[in-house]
Amino acid sequence: MSTTMTPTMTQGPLSDLLVVDLSRALAGPHATMMMGDLGARVIKVEAPGKGDDTRGWGPPFAQPSRDSAAAESTYFLSANRNKESVVLDLKDEADKDVLRTLVSRADVLVENFRTGVLDRLGLGFDELHRLNPRLVILSITGFGHDGPEGGRAGYDQIAQGEAGLMSLTGSGPDDPQKVGTPISDLLAGMYGAFGVVAALRERRRTGRGSVVRTSLLAATVGVHGFQSTRWTVAGQVGHAQGNHHVAIAPYGLFHCADGAVQIAVGSEGLWHDFCQGFGVDPETPGFATNPERVANRERLISLVEEIFSEWKSADLLARLDEVGIPAGRVRSIDEVYAWEQTHSQGLVIDVQHDTLGSLQLAGPPLRFFEPDGEEVTRRTHTAPPVLGADGASVLAWLHEDGLR
């Protein structure tokens, strides 16, 4: 299926794909941003006037100048790099025809409307596949498309609570906390993007498109990890217990003379190395094996913090490295973005925004290499678009392609 890329399009493993993005807020936009990062052409369809809901989510807002009213939400900027923006009113037949034309040329369509909205617009999945039988549709909801609560609206913090994540996060059982990022939204986007790539692979075999469904609930349950089998197999209900691992000790955050460090003593060999490095008898009663250390976690934490209280964090981290114990500090967000290691991994990118000028954004988390070791990761990126910035060029492209 030809998607005739724009002249500025950068190559990538998905560079032959056209993605129509009908989603807003975060889960869907995060999925389509992942596809755009990998080279897909992503055309973001936004409502007239306000566009994506996140354009209004602030403060903070960025402005071209102190006197300018052309403010851009930093929230929107976080989830919409490498996209084009067109404004279409999906209740207007002429605009709906433009969307139908885009759909007929697209490889992927992403939406996160409440269940039934597309049907009421005359753009249900059957109609979309009639227009384009090869279309892969990603549909993201809050709690699933069916089931007794399938119609519920999905917002991240509500999903974190309903899916059990908050009960596992916090200082203790009576202190449920949300994760500091909208993790249920982000996970739904990540699972969704993975599902799309799988469906595209299947399309190569069948020649047909399909529908990929996920939800904030499904994505959050999907990362319960060992906490799931802790309940389903062992019958134990996990709960929040602060900054220490439930099944490994010592593993967590420990205070020292001028702050705190984190260590991960993840094996018996590392426990012996730790003990040798800090003058502890590894056979101390109650500490000889990991199950014993977990059972006596509070006493172990007190012992380790008593040892660490004589150390400043920089010296302690150096000693832990010398001994061979995985360890690290707790960095603030500004420290992360100033960190040379972060920059070395391509996790900070420079873009040129239409109204804000030069910006730094978080970069894509994937890198690609040829068998000979040459890196072929996408190097140039486009800034999140201002509302409707690409409407004229997209329409011109459609007409050049002989579409009306």
CATH number for position 296 = 3.30.1540.10
List CB contacts of 377: < 8 A, sequence separation 6 or more.
346, 364, 366, 367, 368, 369
Q: In the listed set 328, 362, 379, which residue is the last one of a domain according to the structure?
A: 328
Confidence of residue 157 (pLDDT cuts 50, 70, 90): very high
What letters, b where the CB count within 10 A reaches 16 and e where it falls short, cover 1-29? eebebeeebeebebeebbbbbbbbbbbbb
Measured CA angle at 315 (ends 313, 320), to 5 deg: 90
pTM for the structure as a whole: 0.92
Total domains in the chain come to 2
Are residues 199 and 312 part of one domain? no
Residue with tokens 């975060």: 26
- The candidate with the shortest Cα–Cα distance to 263, out of 327, 330, 329, 331, is 327
Indicate if 317 and 348 belong to the same structural domain: no
For residue 205, being part of any structural domain is answered with: yes
| Minimum mean pLDDT range among 58-72, 95-109, 211-225 | 58-72
Q: How confident is the model at residue 67 (pLDDT cuts 50, 70, 90)?
A: low
Q: Does 129 score more than 70 pLDDT?
A: yes
**Could you tell me if residue 185 is inside a domain?**
yes
**CA–CA dist 383, 389 (Å, integer):** 11
Q: What is the pLDDT of residue 1?
A: 42
Between CA 211 and CA 199 the distance in angstroms is 8
Section 284-310 average pLDDT: 97
If asked whether residues 214 and 260 sit together in one domain, one would say no
| Region at 330 (left for phi over 0; alpha for psi -120 to 50; beta for the rest) | beta
234 vs 225, 228, 356, CA distance in Å?
Answer: 14, 9, 54
* Shared domain check, 159 and 31: yes
Same domain, 315 and 394: no
**Residue 82 and residue 113 in one domain:** yes
Provide DSSP, 51-69. Answer: -SGGGG--S-EE-SSTT--
> Is 390 found in the same domain as 273?
no
* 228 occurs within a structural domain: no
Residue 118: inside a domain: yes
pLDDT of residue 64: 81
Long-range contacts: 146-151, Cβ < 8 Å, 24+?
A: 150/115, 151/114, 151/115, 151/116
On whether both 68 and 141 belong to a single domain, the answer is yes
97: Cα within 13 Å, side-chain hemisphere:
5
209-268 pLDDT tens trace: 999 999 999 999 999 999 999 999 999 999 999 999 999 999 999 999 999 999 999 999
Cα distances from 191 to residues 31, 81, 389, in angstroms, run: 8, 19, 29
Position 279 in a domain: yes
Q: Predicted confidence band at 11 (pLDDT cuts at 50, 70, 90)?
A: confident
Q: Give the active site residues.
A: 185
Q: Domain range for residue 295?
A: 251-328
Where residue 160 falls among pLDDT bands split at 50, 70, 90?
very high
The last residue of one of the domains, among 328, 354, 381, is 328
Find tokens 């207007």 and name the residue. 92
